[in-house]
Amino acid sequence: MSFILLFALTVLTVLSALVILFIRLFNKVWWKHKSVRVAAFLVPAFGLLSIAVWFSAHRFDIEPLKRVGSVMAAGSLVLLLGLTLSLPFSGILNLIHRLLEKRKTKQAANPSETINRDRRVFLKGTAAALPLVTIATGGGGIARAFQGTNVYLLPMKFPNLPAELDGLRILHLTDSHLGIYKMLDDFEEILTAAEPYHPDIILLTGDIADDLTLLPDTLKMTVDMKPPYGTFASLGNHEYYRGVNEVYQIFAKSPVPLLKSSGMSLDIKGTSLYLAAADDPRFLRRDGSAFLHKTITAALDGAPSDGFKILMTHRPEGFDIAADYRINLTLSGHTHGGQVGVGGRSFFAPFMPGRYLWGHYQKGNSQMYLSSGIGHWFPFRLGCPPEAPVIELRRSA
């Protein structure tokens, strides 16, 4: 938590300096107004106050203030980021407006003057509107980050799926990041929303809790739901960041198995389903592919050659290796879908070809569902809602 607070403080300081600089450089007319100068310093001051409230709430464990402080801090950061991005464009429009004004003084009145006046009014209005639009969009993104998690049935069809597994339902929970913006009551609401779907298995694919004191109760909730074939978990990078040894100790006292570079066969109505789980490389370095290949190979040790296989890998990059091994279903997270989406896909997909960001992917007979996750370490989502899909295995014709 101290790292997140320090990161927020650093970003707030940098963005505050940029906002003041951009107003003074690109929007000098605005800077002449006292109200603008006062606002330029009040926003960072509010951000510092927000971070102080957030820090104090966690330091003294004041539960009601944790969410209030986090929302205030996130709002300040989004506001500053929106201004940082929009002010240079406003400055360009203001510059064009000033050039047109100078041109007006040099020209005599003529019939086209009305058009020029309308153009100048448009430029001036747009320049002022840009920061307001970005602020409004940012506010909407924050609001959507705190909306309810989308729990829904997601049918996925597989050729040659054993008849005994047809209709098997898997509740996929990933990236809940409990303790920052999502709390135990949020997690409980998700499980309550999933109950009508009667999931047979619950799979948690990493980054479960950033506040490890919440992890035991989180695991207990999934067990209390009594899925017929149990709850299983794999590691994400945040388990390492928060203290993986403590995570091991918590799982050792829990009935929920933590699978790490390992797997196990589940008897489902007399048919074997092999559940494998990759370890997490913490940082996906240049040798990330080699690491994932090693951990997934180890996870498949002892897997039946002809059985249906599911791989839990926090990193979606593991899907390429899973496809090479002809693993039927891969469940992943980590990306949060980029937290901005359009039409059910990540907004960044066109700019990052070859990268797995959000949604359904297929290579040959291997399929992956990459969830946008339940939580986030920065509360901003547009078109990419938090989700907890209940995946239903279906036999294709």
User: Are the C-beta atoms of residues 309 and 327 closer than 8 Å to each other?
Assistant: yes
User: Are the C-beta atoms of residues 206 and 237 closer than 8 Å to each other?
Assistant: yes
| pLDDT > 70? residue 125 | no
pTM: 0.75
* Domain 150-395 classification at class level: alpha beta
Instruction: Please state the φ and ψ torsions of residue 313, each to the nearest 5 degrees.
Output: -140, 120
- Nearest Cα residue to 205 out of 81, 107, 105, 329: 329
**Cβ within 8 Å of residue 324, ≥6 positions away:** none
Q: What is the pLDDT of residue 57?
A: 75
CA distances to 80, 114, 212, 268 from 125, in Å: 21, 16, 50, 65
- Nearest Cα residue to 157 out of 365, 390, 387, 380: 365
pLDDT (tens digit, 9 = 90+) per residue, 325-343?
A: 999 999 999 999 998 888 8
**Gyration radius of the chain's alpha carbons:** 25
pLDDT (tens digit, 9 = 90+) per residue, 27-73?
A: 776 677 787 788 778 878 887 887 788 778 777 777 667 777 777 77
Q: What does the alpha-carbon distance between residue 107 and residue 122 come to, in Å, rounded to a whole number?
A: 20
Q: What does the alpha-carbon distance between residue 387 and residue 221 come to, in Å, rounded to a whole number?
A: 18
Q: Which residues pair with 389 in a beta bridge?
A: 152
Local confidence band at 127 (pLDDT 50, 70, 90 cut-offs): very low
pLDDT (tens digit, 9 = 90+) per residue, 222-255?
A: 999 999 999 999 999 999 999 999 999 999 999 9
Sketch the domain layout of the chain as residue ranges.
2-145, 150-395
Q: What does the alpha-carbon distance between residue 191 and residue 390 come to, in Å, rounded to a whole number?
A: 11
User: Are the C-beta atoms of residues 131 and 87 closer than 8 Å to each other?
Assistant: yes
Q: What is the pLDDT of residue 95?
A: 59
Helix axes 113-145, 63-106, angle to 10 degrees: 170
Q: 3-class DSSP state for residue 1? A: coil
